């Protein structure tokens, strides 16, 4: 999840009811990763997360894949599976998909950071992170031998997922890298929940100095002005006409690429998001709305984490049925 104000995390320290979902990646998938040059990527992530650092894989190499495999990408300070009260992972969604006939061989996740809220402000879309997550996407495609996979992403995972699909050159805080050719032809459905596609208003006005996550290169900086509007990113309505806002270079380049991330692209967000705030609005537009989307669903009362935790049935409808839930 995004974290720009540590006090906001107190809102998230509540208990939810989770099914008993445990990882890590199956031994069959771990053996395949080692045999195919992925062992150093540590997709298993038992270091901090124990069994909750990853999920997915065949229980035997003979398992067949019937459904389009789904890859889950969590947000800032979260994890693949529930590892704390605030790092709630994808347990609810995975459990729901299992009840709908999916198997462990068709559902995949790996943790991409630690879960400390005190480190949340240090995380960016850097080359090390994007290269590793791109390799995970490529590994799942190769391991399952599926023609296509689908992605369900949340929070900072939305922009991570979009970039690893689009590929190409990337200028980041840790240097330059090339993520490879676009993989959009290999993605059936892309679902982004509560993402910061146009930045976060909590990052405006010098916050990029205090928080690396807010930087204007590979972070979530929304721009400090738009026309005559200055430091009023979340105002509704804006006092003055607004166009051609300059925001994070990473986000601007990605949004300028109008190639769809998948055959079907969907977004979801909440008017009551307690981390994005401002009714999800950044300079007059919903920041969670993916520019290439086919459609979206808006929730009235869910918090930032609840858009992931309490929408498993909708996520299934988006991905399996390829339509917007009622």
pTM attached to this predicted model: 0.93
Summarised one tens digit per residue, pLDDT across range 91-149 is 999 999 999 999 999 999 999 999 988 899 999 999 999 999 999 999 999 999 999 99
Q: Hunting for tokens 């107190």 — which residue is that?
A: 10
Summarised one tens digit per residue, pLDDT across range 25-57 is 999 999 999 999 999 999 999 887 789 999 999
d(CA 128, CA 130): 6
The beta strands (E) that lie in 254-323 are given as: 264-270, 281-282, 285-286, 295-299
- The encoded tokens of residue 24 equal 């890590």
pLDDT on residue 289: 98
Task: Quickly list DSSP for 239-301.
Answer: SS---S----HHHHHHHH--S-SSSEEEEEEETT-TTT-GGGEETTEETTS-TT-SEEEEESS
Using 50, 70 and 90 to split pLDDT, how confident is the model at 208? low
* 3-class secondary-structure state, position 226: strand
pLDDT on residue 20: 80
Phi, psi angles (nearest 5°) of residue 93: -70, -45
Q: What is the mean pLDDT of the chain?
A: 92
Residue ranges per domain, the chain? 6-198+249-321
Which residues partner with 73 through β-bridges? 153
Q: Hunting for tokens 């300070």 — which residue is that?
A: 77
Rounded mean pLDDT of 190-208?
91
DSSP H or E segment with residue 178: strand 175-178
- The encoded tokens of residue 229 equal 């509007």
Asked if the model's pLDDT at residue 10 lies above 50, the reply is no
What is 6-198+249-321's CATH number? 3.40.50.1820
pLDDT on residue 262: 98
Asked if the model's pLDDT at residue 326 lies above 70, the reply is yes
Contact by Cβ (8 Å): 25, 105: no
């Amino acid at each position: 999840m995004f974290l720009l104000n540590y006090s906001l995390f107190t809102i998230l320290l509540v208990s939810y009811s989770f099914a008993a979902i445990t990882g890590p990646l199956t031994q069959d998938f771990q053996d395949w990763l080692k045999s195919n040059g992925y062992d150093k990527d540590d997709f298993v992530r038992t270091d901090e997360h124990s069994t909750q650092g990853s999920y997915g894989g065949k229980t035997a190499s003979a398992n067949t894949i019937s459904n389009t495999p789904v890859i889950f990408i969590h947000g800032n300070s979260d994890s693949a599976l529930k590892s704390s009260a605030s790092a709630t992972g994808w347990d609810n969604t995975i459990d729901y998909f299992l009840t709908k006939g999916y198997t462990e061989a068709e559902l995949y996740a790996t943790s991409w950071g630690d879960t400390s809220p005190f480190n949340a402000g240090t995380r960016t879309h850097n080359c090390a992170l994007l290269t590793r997550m791109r390799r995970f996407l490529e590994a799942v495609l190769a391991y399952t031998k599926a023609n296509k996979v689908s992605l369900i992403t949340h929070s900072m995972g939305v922009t991570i997922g979009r970039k690893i699909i689009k590929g190409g050159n990337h200028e980041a805080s840790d240097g330059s890298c090339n993520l490879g050719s676009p993989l959009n032809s290999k993605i059936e459905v892309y679902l982004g929940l509560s993402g910061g596609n146009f930045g976060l208003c909590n990052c405006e006005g010098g916050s990029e100095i205090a928080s690396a996550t807010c930087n204007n290169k590979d972070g979530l900086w929304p721009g400090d002005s738009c026309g005559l509007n200055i430091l009023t990113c979340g105002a509704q309505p804006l006092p003055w006409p607004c166009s051609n806002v300059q925001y994070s270079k990473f986000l601007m380049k990605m949004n300028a690429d109008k190639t769809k991330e998948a055959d079907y692209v969907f977004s979801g967000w909440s008017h009551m998001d307690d981390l994005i705030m401002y009714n999800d609005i950044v300079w007059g537009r919903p920041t969670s709305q993916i520019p290439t989307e086919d459609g979206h669903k808006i929730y009235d009362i869910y918090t930032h984490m609840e858009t992931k935790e309490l929408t498993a049935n909708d996520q299934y409808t988006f991905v399996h049925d390829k339509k917007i839930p009622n």
